[in-house]
Structure 1
Amino acid sequence: MWRNIASNAMTFLVVLVFLAGGALIWAKQEYSDAGPLAVPICLSVQSGSNMRRVSDELVSQGAVSSGALFRMGADYTDKAGQLKAGSYLVPEGSSMSEIVDIVTRGGASTCGTEVVFRVGINQAMVQVRELDPVTGRFEEVAEFDPAQGEAPEEYTSVKQKADTRFRVALAEGVTSWQVVNELRQVDVLEGDVTEVPPEGSLAPDSYEVRPGDTLESVLSRMQSAQELILATAWQNRASDLPLKTPEEALILASIVEKETGIPTEREQVAAVFVNRLNAGMRLQTDPTVIYGITKGEGILGRGLRRSELDAATPYNTYVIPGLPPTPIANPGRASIEAALNPDTADYVYFVAKTLDPKDGHVFATTLDEHNSNVAAYRRLEAQRANQ
Structure 2
Amino acid sequence: MRIKPKSPREALQPEQAPAPPQRSRHVRNPLVILINLVITLAVFGLATVGGALYFGKKKFEEAGPLATDATVVISSGSGLSGITDRLAGQGVIDDSMIDEWIFNLGIRFYKNATNLKAGEYAFAPGVSMHQVMTDLVEGNAVTHSVTIPEGWTTAQIIDRVRKHPVLVGEITDVPGEGALLPETYTFARGMTRQGVLDQMKAAQDKLLAEVWERRTSDLPVNSPEELVILASIVEKETALADERPRVAGVFVNRLNKNMRLQSDPTILYGLYGGEAWLKDRSAIKQSELKAENKYNTYQIDGLPPGPIGNPGRAAMEAVANPSRTLDLFFVADGTGGHIFAETYEQHQANVRKWRKIERERRQQQQNQETQPATSN
In structure 2, do the counterparts of structure 1 residues 214 and 308 end up closer, same or farther at CA, with 3 Å as the change threshold? Answer: closer
Tell me by how many angstroms 1:361 deviates: 1.1
Distance in 1 (CA, whole Å) between partners of 2:151 and 2:213 is 23
Q: CA RMSD in A?
A: 4.9
What TM-score results when the alignment is normalised by the length of structure 1?
Answer: 0.61
2:316 match:
336
Contact map agreement 2:162 2:193 (CA 8 A) in 1? no
1:282 match:
260
1:58 match:
92
1:303 to 270, 280, 283: 283
Distance in 2 (CA, whole Å) between partners of 1:54 and 1:353 is 60
Unpaired runs of 5+ residues, structure 2, are 1-22, 24-38, 365-376
Contact map agreement 1:173 1:257 (CA 8 A) in 2? yes
Contact map agreement 1:256 1:335 (CA 8 A) in 2? yes
Higher relative contact order, structure no. (Cα contacts within 8 Å, ≥ 6 residues apart):
2
Q: How does 1:178-257 map to 2 (within 5 A)?
A: 178-179=156-157, 188-190=168-170, 197-205=175-183, 206=185, 222-257=200-235
Contact map agreement 2:142 2:188 (CA 8 A) in 1? no
Kindly indicate whether residue 364 of structure 2 is the aligned counterpart of residue 384 of structure 1.
Answer: no
Distance in 2 (CA, whole Å) between partners of 1:33 and 1:363 is 66
2:240 to 262, 277, 292: 262
Tell me which amino acid in the other structure corresponds to 1:379: K
Q: How does 1:346-385 map to 2 (within 5 A)?
A: 346-354=326-334, 359-367=335-343, 370-385=347-362
In structure 2, do the counterparts of structure 1 residues 52 and 207 end up closer, same or farther at CA, with 3 Å as the change threshold? Answer: closer
Unpaired runs of 5+ residues, structure 1, are 3-9, 61-65, 115-166
Contact map agreement 2:67 2:126 (CA 8 A) in 1? yes
Contact map agreement 1:192 1:214 (CA 8 A) in 2? no
Q: What secondary structure, in the 3-state scheme, does the structure 2 residue paired with 1:364 have? A: strand
What TM-score results when the alignment is normalised by the length of structure 2?
Answer: 0.63
Tell me which amino acid in the other structure corresponds to 1:275: N
Structure having the higher strand fraction is 1
1:137 match:
none
Distance in 2 (CA, whole Å) between partners of 1:344 and 1:93 is 61
1:110 match:
142
In structure 2, do the counterparts of structure 1 residues 52 and 291 end up closer, same or farther at CA, with 3 Å as the change threshold? Answer: closer
Tell me by how many angstroms 1:38 deviates: 11
2:307 match:
327
1:89 match:
122
Tell me which amino acid in the other structure corresponds to 2:352: A
In structure 2, do the counterparts of structure 1 residues 53 and 23 end up closer, same or farther at CA, with 3 Å as the change threshold? Answer: same
Contact map agreement 2:66 2:92 (CA 8 A) in 1? no
Deviations 1:151-209 (A, max 9, x none): xxxxxxxxxxxxxxxx765443233355567767789434756xx64332233344759
Distance in 1 (CA, whole Å) between partners of 2:162 and 2:55 is 58
Q: What secondary structure, in the 3-state scheme, does the structure 2 residue paired with 1:351 have? A: strand
Contact map agreement 1:170 1:204 (CA 8 A) in 2? yes
Contact map agreement 2:107 2:113 (CA 8 A) in 1? yes
Tell me which amino acid in the other structure corresponds to 2:274: G
Kindly indicate whether residue 49 of structure 2 is the aligned counterpart of residue 73 of structure 1.
Answer: no
Identity in percent: 40
Tell me by how many angstroms 1:238 deviates: 2.6
In structure 2, do the counterparts of structure 1 residues 380 and 35 end up closer, same or farther at CA, with 3 Å as the change threshold? Answer: farther
Tell me which amino acid in the other structure corresponds to 1:284: Q
Distance in 2 (CA, whole Å) between partners of 1:50 and 1:313 is 59
After the TM superposition, which of the residue ranges 177-186 and 312-321 deviates more from structure 2? 177-186
Deviations 1:259-314 (A, max 9, x none): 12233432232222223323443322101122222233444844323354456653
In structure 2, do the counterparts of structure 1 residues 214 and 103 end up closer, same or farther at CA, with 3 Å as the change threshold? Answer: closer
Tell me by how many angstroms 1:100 deviates: 0.6
Distance in 1 (CA, whole Å) between partners of 2:190 and 2:102 is 37
Greater gyration radius: 2
Q: What secondary structure, in the 3-state scheme, does the structure 2 residue paired with 1:79 have? A: coil
